[in-house]
Amino acid sequence: MAPVHSFLGLFSISDDTSEIGESVEGEENQKVPCGPPCSTPVLSSLSLRRSVTITVLPGFSCCFFIWRVTKQDTKQDTGNAVLVLHQMEVLLNYLPLDQTVWTSFLKKQREEYSQFLREMIIQPGISKAKSGCSREDVTMEDHPLNPNPDSRWNNYFKDNEILLQIDKDVRRLYPDMAFFQRPTDYPCQLILDPQNDYETLRQRVEQTTLKAQTVNRNRSGVTNVSSPGKALNLYPSNEYEVMPSGSEAHWEVVERILFIYAKLNPGIAYVQGMNEIVGPIYYTFATDPNSQWKEHAEADTFFCFTNLMSENRDNFIKSLDDSQCGITYKMESVYSMLKDKDLELYLKLEEQNIKPQYFTFRWLTLLLSQEFLLPDVIRIWDTLFSDKERFHFLILVCCAMLILIRENLLAGDFTVNMRLLQDYPISDVHTILTKAEELRDNS
C-alpha cells in the first residue's frame, strides 16, 4: 500500500531535519515512522510541515489510528500526544509554535470570543427584549421602517436575514449522522445563563420566521389549521427538536460561530456553504478526548475557521470569480492539469461539453466536504492542511479523482458522466490521496 502524507502523523517535532527514524508497527498493514522523542516544546514551521509516511487501512479514520499509536508509542513524552492531536490548530495558524505560551494564549483568545458573544448576541438581545416593553427605541429619527444604513433597526433586520439563512443551513448539517442534532456536553453558560434576560438567536429565528399554514374547512364547517411541512412529512422528526432548558444542540453552537463571523466580516458576511467548512473543524474539536480542550471547542473552532476563511474566502466572493484568485481560475486549473496529465480524458469531457464549473465548483469551494463521509473529509484535510501549497494540492486531488474514474467517464455519455461527477463513486480517500501524490511527483 503506497504512503501518503498527513499532519496527524507528525511525531518528530524537533528542529532536526534529518531523515525520519524507523517505523513502529502496530497492527497488520499499519505503519507510522517515528522520530526521536521531543526534546523542546518549541516547534519550527519546517519540522511541523515535514512529510511523514503513514499507511492506514482503507475505511479507518486517520485521527483515531494516530491517537492510538501515539498513546502506546510515546508514553515517555506526553507532550507529543498533545501536539499530534492539536496539529490542526497549529497548521491553521491559531496556536503558536511555542507550546509554553499555549495556556496564556488560549485564555486570552477564549476571553475575546466571550466578549464577542456579549457584544453581538447578548447586548443586542437585551436591547431588543427591553424594546418589546417600551417605545423608547422607536423615535422619529430611528424606527423599524427607517431605510438609513446606520439605523439600528435596519441593521437588526439585516442581521436577521443572515441569521435565517445560517439557521436553515446548520440544521441540516451532515444529515447522514446524528452528531449535530445531539446536545453538546458543554453548553455555553454565558449564553444560557438565566440571569441574562435577552432575546436569544433561537428566539430571533422563531419570531422572524412566518410559518405557512394550511386552512381546511370540512363539511360541518369545522376549521382545521395545519402546517403543510408537517402534513407532508417534509422534515425529519428530530430536525427542529427543541433542547430542554439549559441544553443546546451542536448545530446551535455552529450557528453562533457563523453568526459572529458574519458580524465581524460584513464584507463577506455569510455565504451558503460556509457551514460545510466549519462543520468538520467543530466536529474535530468537540470530540476531543481531552475534556479541557473539548469544553472550549466553540471558541477554538471560531478562530480556526476565521483563519481558514482568510485563505479560502476569495472562493465565496462573487466579484472575484473571474480574477486570478477567484474560483473560476481554480476550476479552469483543474482542467488545465487534466489536459497535461490525461489528454484523452480531457478531450472526452470537452467533447461532451462537461464544463469544470458543473462539478468542481462544489469540490473546490467546500474543500470536498460534501463528496465524502465526515471521517474521510477530515482525513483529506489532514493532508491538505499539512501541505505547504494546500490549495494547489487540492487541485491535484480533484485531478486525481477524475483520472481514477477515467474508464467510466470514457465509456459514459453526458448524463452518465454528470451523475458520476455529482455523486463521486470512490469512497477510499487513501487511493485518491496516493494518486494525487503520484501526479505531483510526476510533474
Considering only CA atoms, which of 14, 43, 41, 37 is closest in space to residue 24? 37
**Phi and psi, residue 326, nearest 5°:** -85, 175
| pLDDT of the chain, 443 residues: tens digit per residue | 444 444 333 332 333 333 333 333 333 333 333 333 344 455 554 444 433 333 333 333 333 333 323 333 333 444 444 455 577 888 888 999 888 999 999 999 999 999 999 999 888 766 555 554 444 454 545 555 556 666 565 677 788 899 999 999 999 999 888 999 999 999 998 888 777 777 788 888 877 665 444 444 444 444 454 444 433 343 444 455 677 778 899 999 999 999 999 999 998 999 999 999 999 999 999 999 999 999 999 999 999 999 999 998 888 888 777 777 889 999 999 999 999 999 999 999 999 999 999 999 999 999 999 999 999 999 999 899 988 888 899 999 999 999 999 999 999 999 999 999 999 999 999 999 999 999 999 87
Is there a contact between 39 and 79 (Cβ–Cβ < 8 Å)?
no
pLDDT for residue 16:
36
Residue ranges of the domains in the chain?
101-124+147-313, 318-442
pLDDT for residue 199:
77
Q: How far apart are CA 68 and CA 27, in angstroms?
A: 11
Query: Which residues are paired to 33 by β-bridges?
Result: 23
pLDDT for residue 315:
84
**Assigned C-alpha cell, 112:** 475575546
Q: How far apart are CA 110 and CA 112, in angstroms?
A: 5
What is the pTM (predicted TM-score) of this model? 0.76
| CATH architecture, domain defined by 318-442 | Orthogonal Bundle (1.10)
pLDDT for residue 152:
63
Helix (H) or strand (E) holding 80: helix 78-85
Q: Cell 436569544 maps to which residue?
A: 200
Identify the DSSP state of 358: G
Considering only CA atoms, which of 289, 88, 254, 246 is closest in space to residue 179? 254
Considering only CA atoms, which of 365, 383, 372, 276 is closest in space to residue 329? 365
pLDDT for residue 94:
92
